[in-house]
Amino acid sequence: MRLVRVLLITLVVVSIVGTGAWWFFFRTTTTSDPAANPDSTEAAAESAVSPAAPATNIVAGTPSTAEVEVAPRRTASLSFSVSGLLAERIVDVGTLVAEGEPILRLEDSRERARLAEAQAALAAAEAAVASAQAGAAAAERQRAVQAAAITVVQAQRDAAEAALRLTATQADATIDQAQAGARQAAAAVAQAEANAAASLAALEQAEAQVTLAEAQRAQAEAAVATAQLAVEERTLRAPFTGRVLEIGFEVGEAIGASNAATVVFADTSSWIVETTNLTELQVVGVAEGDVVEVEVDALPSVTFSGIVERVSFVPELVRGDVTYVATIGLDVSSSEVPEVGLLRPGMTGIVRGLLED
């Protein structure tokens, strides 16, 4: 009985093993036989001929779009070069300011007092120059008078000497008188020459006074310029005509020369857009000079014409994608697009036709 049971178990195991071997042989034959599985053979052949294509492939020369952000063409971050308390916000955020007009002013009473002192000193120096110049002019006139006097007394001396020569044959008294006249004339010439020398010295001294007064005036002018600069440094002015976008301080707050930008300023008469998600697959088809269309989300009924002005070479990683920034200038000169006045920095939109030929 035990032997019969062993034989039955053996037959069952052999049957199961044989069935499994037959199934494995059948599967191997059908998968390896081209006639039995033609689809499998064709797929294997295609796989061997060409590599796997990427999931996304944008071909240069086909239309593409990218997201953009609006920005003024010209933006400046303004700050003071000196420290102080903000005394006045002359204009507010959003104000259109002409070039050179003031925006903010620091407390400047001490600087203005110094400027007033320097201006007073300059006025005194200018008066001193005027006085010295008047003295020099008077000395010059005196020197001219003395020069004329020399000419007169020299003529008188020459006449006296001629008279003396004529009396050589006359009485002694007449000769003595002529000799006395000649001596007086010679003395008068000597005195006139001495006076002329003195007047020349006076003129040179007066001219030296003029030079000194002019030097002091130059110093006073430099002091005024320095004081004026100190006052000007405490007023922040518009570097070009534009609009105030942001003011970072309130009246009464202390502002240091090392602070970040105090005012963000921009020329809002000209606009650009910059792409924010132009991928490495798209950028190969973008070139400077390409004409594109820009739609701003806030102005859905308006399409702006634009020209690609530059494409960056430095990549930026955005949400795991390698992207590049393309800068596009908007054509806002057309009177047919009055909505340009509604543009604001930071608005978003879409640029179309980036890869069109």
Query: 70: helix, coil or strand?
Result: strand
Q: Where are the domains of the chain?
A: 2-49, 65-107+243-352, 109-211
- Cα–Cα distances in angstroms (integers) from residue 44 to residues 47, 48, 49, 321, in the given order: 5, 6, 9, 33
- Cα–Cα distances in angstroms (integers) from residue 24 to residues 13, 27, 200, 274, in the given order: 17, 5, 135, 63
Beta bridge partners, 74, equal 267
pLDDT above 70: residue 109 = yes
Its pTM stands at 0.60
Longest dimension (CA), the chain: 206
- Cα–Cα distances in angstroms (integers) from residue 156 to residues 151, 175, 196, in the given order: 9, 17, 17
Q: Count other Cβ atoms within 10 Å, centred on residue 261.
A: 13
Q: Count other Cβ atoms within 10 Å, centred on residue 149.
A: 18
Query: 342: helix, coil or strand?
Result: helix
pLDDT tens-digit map of 184-202: 666 666 666 666 666 777 7
Judge whether 211 and 230 are in contact, CB under 8 Å. Answer: no
Query: 45: helix, coil or strand?
Result: helix
- 119 vs 336, which has greater pLDDT? 119
DSSP 93: T
Helices (H), the chain: 2-32, 38-49, 109-166, 172-232, 280-283
DSSP of 233-274: TTEEE-SSSEEEEEE---TT-EE-TTSS-SEEEEEEEEEEEE
Beta bridge partners, 327, equal 274, 310
Lowest-pLDDT range, 115-124, 163-172, 189-198, 209-218? 163-172
How far is CA 227 from its chain centroid? 25
Looking at CATH, the fold of the domain delimited by 65-107+243-352 is given as Elongation Factor Tu (Ef-tu); domain 3 (2.40.30)
Q: How confident is the model at residue 105 (pLDDT cuts 50, 70, 90)?
A: very high
Judge whether 283 and 305 are in contact, CB under 8 Å. Answer: no
| Domain at 109-211: CATH architecture | Up-down Bundle (1.20)
Q: Distance (Å, rounded) from C-alpha 17 to C-alpha 23?
A: 10
Average pLDDT of every residue of the chain: 76
Taking only Cα atoms into account, the Rg of the chain, rounded to an integer number of angstroms, comes to 51
Q: Distance (Å, rounded) from C-alpha 93 to C-alpha 248?
A: 10
Task: For residues 83-94, give the mean pLDDT.
Answer: 92
Task: For residues 295-315, give the mean pLDDT.
Answer: 92
pLDDT above 80: residue 24 = no
Q: How confident is the model at residue 48 (pLDDT cuts 50, 70, 90)?
A: very low
- Tokens at residue 236, please? 């922040």
